[in-house]
Structure 1
Amino acid sequence: MSVIGDYFIILWGFLLIGLMAIGGYFMFRKFLKQLPKEDGKSDMDWEKHYIDKTRHMWGEEEKNFLEELVSPVPELFRDVARQKIASKIGEVAIEKGSKTITQETIIEGYIIATPKRDHKFLRKKLKQKNIDVSPYEPFFKMSRENYAENWESNYQKQKNTK
């Protein structure tokens, strides 16, 4: 066999191992999301719960606005991102006692559900739509890590200071 053939086989082996590792990583993440927490429900169970509980609260305009916000997510991951963000929006709406999902609720839920690196796109999109971001600055200042852990208590503190 030639040297080029040997290198090709080695490269092919590394490529396959790399692709399997990437696939395994995403499968493992999904597996972890399905493990029950202390309350007996998994993260995915809670996501489905909030989506089902608030499905009737969404108007067509709000659905389209959410679609605009998740548009930069690669199509392969868009459904997962949409579900996670929509469930957090539903959770915020329930916490507020809202009867419908509003644009304000969508923006708050989007900020809470997404990592800080995605907020740049949201700011840009809100500026394009002439929406003032100043009411949402406290949410932007909290990183996702700080917010996701105790987001409800942080949200209540924020609400009480207004």
Structure 2
Amino acid sequence: MNTAFSIFIVGWTLIMVGLLAIGGYFMFRKFLKRLPKEDGKSIIDWEEYYIEKTKNMWGKEEKAFLEELVSPVPELFRDIARQKIAGKIGELALEKKKKTITQDIIIEGYIIATPKRDHKFLKKTLDEKNIDLKPYQPLFDQ
């Protein structure tokens, strides 16, 4: 009984240390994104800036389209992904001096903001929406 309890304690300790390490990793990544860059703003500050500057440029259909595109992301990471993608979309819209957010800007921002390792899932999602990927191929190749 004593050895079984000891094994249980050691196992539980390893599980807890593992979970704490995983959580610490994600917290550290968030911390790094909050560190100010040369311009005095962090990555997250810029995302929030672009979202705030373009929030009145979004229509209901565009918001719904972004939600559809973000839906395959696991729920735990969906808010972070949505903010990153919406920030990139806002940045592109302001760079191109657009008056409204269009589906093309959403797709372009979504491709740029998505890590290259996830482009396979992104292409699948866009195919399911019957969106022609040919005009966006250069963005995938970057």
Same fold (TM over 0.5): yes
2:89 alignment partner AA: I
* Offset from partner CA, 1:61-98 (integer Å, 9 cap, x none): 11111101110111111111100100001001111111
Aligned to 1:159: none
* Per-residue deviation, 1:34: 0.9
Aligned to 2:92: 92
Q: CA–CA distance in 1 between the matches of 2:71 and 2:124?
A: 13
1:54 alignment partner AA: T
Residues 60-99 of structure 1 aligned to structure 2 (within 5 Å): 60-99=60-99
1:23 matched to 2:26? The reply is no
* Offset from partner CA, 1:42-67 (integer Å, 9 cap, x none): 11110110000000111111111110
Aligned to 2:138: 138
1:10 matched to 2:10? The reply is yes
Aligned to 1:55: 55
Q: CA–CA distance in 1 between the matches of 2:52 and 2:128?
A: 31
Q: CA–CA distance in 2 between the matches of 1:37 and 1:125?
A: 33
Gaps of 5+ in 1: 143-162
Number of equivalences: 142
Higher relative contact order (CA 8 A, sep 6+): 2
Aligned to 1:107: 107
Q: CA–CA distance in 1 between the matches of 2:64 and 2:109?
A: 15
Q: CA–CA distance in 2 between the matches of 1:84 and 1:73?
A: 13
Q: CA–CA distance in 2 between the matches of 1:120 and 1:35?
A: 31
TM-score (normalizing by structure 2): 0.95
Of residues 123-132 and 64-73 in structure 1, the stretch that sits farther from structure 2 once superposed is 123-132
SS of 2:15's partner is: helix
TM-score (normalizing by structure 1): 0.84
Aligned to 1:160: none
Identity of aligned pairs, percent?
Answer: 70
Q: CA–CA distance in 2 between the matches of 1:11 and 1:93?
A: 52
SS of 2:120's partner is: helix
SS of 2:100's partner is: coil
